A and B are shown apart, each in its own frame.
Chain A
Amino acid sequence: MTDFLQLFFSGLSTGAIYALAALGFTLLWQASGTINFAQGEFVMLPAFMMLAFMNMGAPILVSFALSVVLAVIVLGWLFKRGLVDPLFKYGMMPIVVATIGLSIAMRNGVRAGFSAEAHPFPSLFPDKLFNIAGVTITMADLGTFAFALVLVLITQAFIAKTVTGRAMQAVAQNTESASVLGINVPRMIFYTFAINAVLAVAAAMLVTPTYLAKFDMGESLGTKAFFAAIIGGFNNSRGALLGGLIVGVCENLAAAYISPAYKDAVALVIFMVVILFKPQGLLGKKVERKV
């Protein structure tokens, strides 16, 4: 039982990170009907932004704050204006293809600028161990889980409870009606991209001490987060959290009780099972087709 709990808690921490990245998928889908296949690289790039600021001597939290500003400009505004807006009128597929291209470009750009080697990245949390009834939990595990959970809940609350959040939802549900109601549609869509950028920086800060800062760190993270978003429900932010945690925990349990060789297949298997029996995801809502 102790071993099970050890794996469970360790998985929760990893799953919380998947959830943060998955939340990016669901937010963009809800706001603009877009799937961003560069989501993993959207976490990778802020990691290198923070690394660059830290190399200049800034403490980790200052680097985080500066990276948030930079990410909102680059991954929010520039991404929207440079890629999504021009392609939006051609439908979703060109955007999907363009984001795949963008992910390759971002990987190779960082590789050229920072070298292809992994770089160590400091942890936000102190190197402290807790031993509770035989289960070893690190401060980093606890902190990562708590931080991710708070961020997901704040995002959820912002979208559901505030006027701006509701306006964002209105835009997502029907752009034309929202426009008639006086909602500034482009601004609401930009807010979504900006929130996604901020979440990506937070995910980068939490994930990079484990993943190590490397140009291809976003590849597996992006894939897992994509599966997590679908498992939880692509049109539900809480679904991203649930999907992330399920993938994180199940991966760990499968690696220990079945074989580490199958660990990376776990997300895919759960994804397949879920879309077979509940295509809209565990917490997702059925969407009526517009005719």
Chain B
Amino acid sequence: MQKRFAFKLIAACALAASALTGFAQQTVKIAGIVELSGPGTTSGTFFNNGAMLAVKEINAAGGILGKKIDYSSNDTQSNPGVAKGLTQKAVDQDVFAIFGPVFSGSIMVSMAESRRAEIPNFTGGEAASITQQGNPYIFRTSFTQDTAMPKVARYMSDTMKLKTIAIIYVNNDFGKGGLDSVKKALAPSATKVLGEISTDSGQIDFSAAVLKAKQLNPDGIFAYTNEEESARLLRELRKQGWTKPVVGETTLTGQKVIELAGEAANGAIGHVGLTVDAPLPAVRAFRAKYEKEYKTISDHNGMKGYSGMYILKAAIEKAGKFDRKAVANAMHTLKVTAAQQPGVLMDVTFNEKGDLDRDSFIVEVKNGKQEVTAVVPPLGAK
């Protein structure tokens, strides 16, 4: 009797183990390591939501090469140390790829772990230095500052004809990287930088920063801070009666910034790599799907997470197998068109550093909405 019971138990365990193995073979693990709290909450949440939406669609359509994606979200608390720990945990869990962190300061720290384990790591960080270190496993979901800043610098100088500007930036890896890039891009132009005003991540009161900018009396302000701080800065600029142009990058004119800043966001001009208001069919479809899923309009971070997941899918399909090294190799020469793979949203190319190039847009906030005023071609097209 006992023997029969033991036999049944062993048989049941074997069956369960084989079922689990079979299940594991049908999925590919991807870890989202994102800012779900702390100063990066807005960016991280949108990025994570975008990635999850793409996973849902890809799984519903049969997965990648027949495997469904098993995606997990992990909160870095906007803390580089936590991000590094979570990346190590993801490595231990043998994930196939990692999405995030979004903040440059965090990815700079955490990518050493994914590189050591040779795991493709997609980041939303824009600091130029991220891909300048020769890491073959790091890939962007948005422009590097070295791609974006020449575009916005050219716009300020050639189109807006600003003779002088003051730069208000956030004093972290993201902000300092942007400051260096925009100064480098503006150096040969007719636009002169009168002053650089540093602010803190999570700063509440911008009255001193705005006052300093006003004292310099520039033709315009270039603002480069994270979303919540951008909203506070715009409100302070309006409060202190600033009427000249305020130009920035994606983080100045995002949907969340408009929502938080209200009236004060009107008139802000931004160069954006991605916008849900882009007059492109794939982007419009994404906007509608995101809004239906999350009851809010996505910002550029949602598009980064979403298109990033489809870019990974395209790379795996190009490699033809679930081999991390082969997928990373495929990424370095990847060219995907939105016609072939609508989820990538726009035609995109990757270079040997992991940087991407594609169309971008100049937007202006009018009546509480982003309006695309110009399409800027890829830098490589010039």
Residues of A participating in the B interface, judged by any CB pair closer than 8 Å: 3, 6-7, 10-11, 14, 111, 115-118, 120, 127, 129, 131, 136, 138, 210-212, 214-216, 220, 251-252, 255-256, 259-261, 263-264
Contact = CB atoms under 8 A, between A and B. Distances in A.
8 contacts: A3-B211, A10-B205, A118-B42, A129-B239, A211-B204, A252-B208, A255-B208, A260-B203
B317 interface: no
7 nearest interchain CB pairs?
Answer: A255-B208, A256-B208, A10-B207, A116-B41, A116-B37, A120-B260, A136-B240
Given A7-B211, A116-B36, A129-B241, A260 B42 contact: no
A115 B239 CA distance: 29
Centre residue among B45, B202, B207, B263 by max chain A CB count within 10 A? B207
B197 interface: yes
B259 A120 contact: yes
B304 interface: no
Nearest to B205: A14
Contacts of A252: 205, 207-208
Centre residue among A6, A131, A136, A252 by max chain B CB count within 10 A? A136
A224 to B, nearest CB: 10
Interface of B: 36-38, 41-42, 45, 171, 197-200, 202-205, 207-209, 211-212, 215, 228, 231-232, 235, 239-241, 256, 259-260, 262-263
Contact of A210 (B197, B204, B263): B204
Nearest to B214: A3
Nearest to B240: A136
Contacts, number: 83
Given A116-B41, A127-B263, A212 B228 contact: yes
A127 B263 CA distance: 10
Contacts of A260: 197-200, 203, 208-209
Given A216-B37, A261-B171, A7 B241 contact: no
Contacts of A210: 204-205, 232, 235
Centre residue among B41, B208, B239 by max chain A CB count within 10 A? B208
Contact of B205 (A115, A127, A251): A251
A231 to B, nearest CB: 18
Nearest to A131: B241
B204 A136 contact: no
A117 B232 contact: no
Nearest to A14: B205
A264 B200 contact: yes
Nearest to A256: B208
A242 B260 CA distance: 31
B241 A3 contact: no
Instruction: Summarize B's interface: helix, strand, loop or mixed.
Output: helix
Nearest to B171: A261
Contacts of A211: 204
A259 to B, nearest CB: 7
Contacts of B241: 129, 131, 136
Nearest to A209: B235
A1 to B, nearest CB: 13
Given A116-B41, A136-B240, A7 B208 contact: yes
Given A14-B205, A260-B199, A261-B171, 11 more contacts: A3-B211, A3-B215, A11-B207, A111-B37, A118-B42, A118-B228, A120-B260, A216-B37, A259-B198, A260-B197, A263-B205
Contacts of B235: 210
B41 A117 contact: yes
Contacts of B207: 6-7, 10-11, 252, 255-256
A255 B205 contact: yes
A117 B208 contact: no
A256 to B, nearest CB: 4
Contact of A136 (B208, B232, B239, B260): B239
A211 B231 CA distance: 11
A131 B235 CA distance: 16
Contact of A6 (B202, B211, B228, B256): B211
Contacts of B199: 260
B239 A138 contact: yes
Contacts of A3: 211, 215
Nearest to A138: B239
A14 B212 CA distance: 19
B170 to A, nearest CB: 10
A259 B259 CA distance: 30
Contacts of A136: 239-241
Contacts of A116: 36-37, 41, 45
Contacts of B228: 118, 212, 214
A114 B302 CA distance: 19
A263 to B, nearest CB: 7
A131 B202 CA distance: 29
B256 A117 contact: yes
A118 B38 CA distance: 10
Contacts of B212: 256
Nearest to A6: B211
A280 B92 CA distance: 54
Contacts of B232: 210, 212
Contacts of B171: 261
Centre residue among A10, A210, A264 by max chain B CB count within 10 A? A10
Contacts of B42: 117-118
Given A115-B45, A117-B256, A118-B260, A263 B208 contact: yes
B204 to A, nearest CB: 6
B116 to A, nearest CB: 30
B342 to A, nearest CB: 28
Contacts of A220: 202, 204
A111 to B, nearest CB: 6
B37 A212 contact: no
A117 B204 contact: no
A210 B197 CA distance: 21
A7 B205 CA distance: 11
Contacts of A129: 239, 241
Nearest to A2: B211
Contacts of A214: 41, 228
B203 to A, nearest CB: 7
